[in-house]
Every structure is written in structure tokens, then in C-alpha cells.
Structure 1
């Protein structure tokens, strides 16, 4: 018969081993080498990423678990990283406000979605070095109706009383405060909802990065962009204008590998890749 002391010692050791295994799973770390990298993106943020039925080598990649393909600059970057890492790529379409939660719950490994490393986001996840930084992202514009009352606006005060909004969960929400006396308007979850609300006259306009506003106006002839310049320009911190890859805080080894890969992509090549995405988006 096994002695009680030995029995309880073995039982205690087994429990500790089990708990240690659970902790490792929770942290996202695994003793097994990675063979696949799972990327989450919104699929509605042209030219960074969008959804299409077309297939084009290098530009598109099939979504996991649903019909259609992801396309755009983010998809090009994701494919480049997977190839350099020697891993199989999987891309999941996830709503913007669900991306960080999906990352924290280990449903995805990376957020490659034109996301900026804001202080608020960095409290819950970490980021790689920027993978895109261009003058196009350093200006915030207002997208309004071409037949509306704000097409001649040149000053922030010209929007007094207007119903101006932004996408929920973006740094654009804080920039709304720079427009004095605008009407309170509900924040919307994605750009499809923003564009539909503008078309329907529910709102008078919304904020967008220049590179995104360009695509919206191109696709919607009844929209125009308002550029506020000089001391009237909408101000954004320089760090917000750079797009970085969101990661779990404990994925240090993978972050180092990705940063090393990003460092091999010259700025000129990144701009050229974005131009390819813009050209493809213009054919939608």
C-alpha cells in the first residue's frame, strides 16, 4: 500500500503540473513551434483592407470560415510576413470593435488592420514597429455630402451645429472635440454605416484619414472631402498616423521576428505596395 505522504506528494505535483499547463495556454505560449499565423482584420477599410470575390495573386487571400477574399495593403503585408516566417497564413474577418478581444482570447495572433498604437490600446495589447507611415495618414478630413450645407467650410467653426461623427473605437473620436458646438451624434461601428448614414442624411459628415477619405469620395460621387488647413487643421499626434501590428503582450519572441522582417522592407517599397492597393481599390 502506498504511504499517505507519498500519495499526497504525487497528487500535489500532478495538480501543479496541470495548473502550469493551463497557465501556459492562457498566456498564448506553447512548447510546440508555430506552424500557422492567424491574422484578424475588418475587411472594410479601403485601401488597407477590403472584401472582394476577386482573386489576384499577392493582393488577395481567402477568408477563413466564410466566402470571399481579403484584399489590400494589410493583406499584402500579412502574406509577406507569413512567407518570411515560414508559416501558413490564415485571415479572419472580424468587426473593428472585436479585434482586440479576439487577440486577447487567442482567436487570432496578429491584428493587421491599419491600427494605430494609441495609449489606450497599449494598455491591453502591444504593437510592432510601424508597417506603414505616410503623409496621406497625417491629415484628418471631413467627408460630407456634395449637395450639403458644408461644402464651402474652411474653418472648424463652420461646422457649428452640424451632425459630425466618427468610427467607434478609433482615435478620431477624440478629434471630434476639436470641432466646436457640433451636435452630439452616435458613433458608428464601421465605415459602411458611416457612408450609409451620410447618404441618408442622418449625419452631415464624418472624420476619416485622407487615404481612406480619398477612396470613399472616389466610390461615392455624391461625397466631397473638406480639408481644414493652417491653424484650422484637425490635429493628431504623430504616433497616431502610423499603422502598426497589434499583438499579445507576452508574444515577445514573435514581435522581435516580425520587427526584423519589417526592417527589411524599405519605405519606398511600402509606399509602392500601398499604391498597388489604391489602384486595385479604384477598380471596385
Structure 2
């Protein structure tokens, strides 16, 4: 098996070199992924794929449903969390990771990591890849290379049904509201500050903590992406999604390219690791936006009660 894997990886490397290091083009009909900033591949990345041992080590929070979560058994295809004995990871990210591993003959290893530690872990080669609901922003792609997109996530707000903001039709209708989002996200750093006179509280460390602040009345609304909002509403029928996308009242970006990079969700790998990036892209490019949405619906359906 090791010999076959080595031959397979050598073949992929040869193809990568023949294509001058270019990534496979996506066949999905949604917005295209932003181009990564030009950079020469680090020497060590050219020799490192991360899967020489036949194991793809993937980082994620394991606390960001429906992208990923922790459960206590292996039901519905859950995978053991290697650094949390007795716990299992599941969700959309795990499903995508498993598809990538199955297509390449790799074993999947899931590692639980704090959100802010994900990119540094890839940079230090502790993780081969992050499949963790990360937006393909220019800032992030200056630190790592990103395969994908593997999902297209509309930015929305969530409030309660009895809130005075429940009938909002634009971000202008949210003026003066108390709000928050998850730390280290475009939602907190760029979106919520666009709301006039918003009372922006400190960011939540995790998505569940952000949702809890809404449920307990600590904030009037939160900003997140559509899958996170859909998962929250599926488990709490007192919550309602405010979707302003496609209207003049939506959150604004400097350009359509900037908007795309914030709704395109990608997979982080070490900068210059074209072999692994291309192997991942070859799997993702065979999937359509409909495939992604169907898989996300499946993840939301099996998400456990929290």
C-alpha cells in the first residue's frame, strides 16, 4: 500500500509540474474563487505534501455546526478526534474531508483546534489541511494556499421572532441594535460595523457561544453565514434568519471580487503545497453547487441537539 501510495503521489507531482503548478478549474456555477496573491513556493513546501504516510491530518474547531461538531459516538459517519479521546467529529467538513480521502486512498485524521490556531497549525505542518468553514479572504490567502471553494455561504443576520428587528428588510433597519459575531471573522470585523449606531459587543470565541448570546437576550441579533444560521434555526424555532442578499440593503463590499472572497469557503494548505491543493481541487471540481447544498442539508439534518 505504501509503495502504491508513493507511486500515486509521484504521478500527481508529475502532473502538477506539467501544468506549471496551476490548480484545477472549478466546474461549479457560483462565484469564482479569488486568486491567491502571487508568491513563490517555499522550498520546504515543494518537498512536503503531508500525506506521504497515507494520512490526511485535518484541523477544525469541532464546535462550528453545521460545518463541524463534536459527538460522543461514531453514528452517521463520525470520525474519531485524535486529540480528544472518546470524542468524534461530524458535520459538513467531515463529510467533505472523507470524500477527499476516499478519492485519494488516504486515511482521515481529525484534530480539534481553536479557530485562531488553524492557519498557524498548517503553516507549522502540524496540520496538513484545515477544512473548517474558512472564507477565502485575501488576508487568509496571504498566509496559506486554499483549495476550493467547497461551499458558497451567504452572509445573514439572525434574531428572535419576538424581536423588534424580526421584520428588518435591510441593515438600515438594524440601526442601534446590540449585536455580536464570532471572533476572527468577516462578520464581526467588516459586516456588523456597517450598521449605523450598532452596539457591538465583544466577539464570541465560538459559533455556539455567539448563538447562546442571542438565545439568552444578551444581544438583539448576530451576524453569521447561512449554513450556521440554518442549523441554529433548525434547533430553535424561536430564531429567524434575516437575509438581505441581492438587495441594496445588504452588507457592502468594495467590489464583487471582495464579496466573492468572503462567501467562498475554502480548504487551507501550506503555502506552495501544490500537490495537496491540486489533489483536493480535483475532488471538489467534480462536485456542483447542488452537490454542496445537498451535503449541507444532510449535515443540518443529522446535527445533534446542543
TM-score band, normalised by shorter chain: 0.7 to 0.9
Deviation string 1:185-229 (CA, Å, 9 cap, x unpaired) is 211221121122223322221101122112112212332222336
Per the alignment, do residues 227 and 77 of structure 1 end up closer, same or farther by CA in structure 2, a change over 3 Å counting?
A: closer
How many Å separate the matches in 1 of 2:243 and 2:50? 52
Following superposition, the deviation at residue 27 of structure 1 comes to: 8.2
Per the alignment, do residues 115 and 31 of structure 1 end up closer, same or farther by CA in structure 2, a change over 3 Å counting?
A: closer
| SS of equivalent residue, structure 2 residue 211 | helix
Deviation string 1:7-61 (CA, Å, 9 cap, x unpaired) is xxxxxxxxxxxxxxxx97798727993321100011122222111124235x311
How many Å separate the matches in 1 of 2:49 and 2:228? 38
Alignment check: 8 A CA contact 1:97 1:189 kept: no
Partner of 1:4: none
| SS of equivalent residue, structure 1 residue 141 | strand
How many Å separate the matches in 1 of 2:280 and 2:271? 14
| SS of equivalent residue, structure 2 residue 110 | strand
* Higher deviation after alignment, 98-107 or 266-275: 266-275
Q: Select which of 201, 222, 225 maps to 2:217.
A: 201
Instruction: Flag structure 1 segments of 5+ consecutive residues without an equivalent.
Output: 1-22
TM-score with structure 1 length normalisation? 0.81
Larger radius of gyration: 1
Greater relative contact order (CA < 8 Å, ≥ 6 in sequence) = 2
Count of residue correspondences: 257
| SS of equivalent residue, structure 1 residue 65 | coil
Is 1:277 paired with 2:296?
no
Alignment check: 8 A CA contact 2:156 2:242 kept: yes
Is 1:183 paired with 2:202?
no
Instruction: Flag structure 2 segments of 5+ consecutive residues without an equivalent.
Output: 1-41, 254-258
How many Å separate the matches in 2 of 1:69 and 1:225? 29
Per the alignment, do residues 224 and 99 of structure 1 end up closer, same or farther by CA in structure 2, a change over 3 Å counting?
A: same
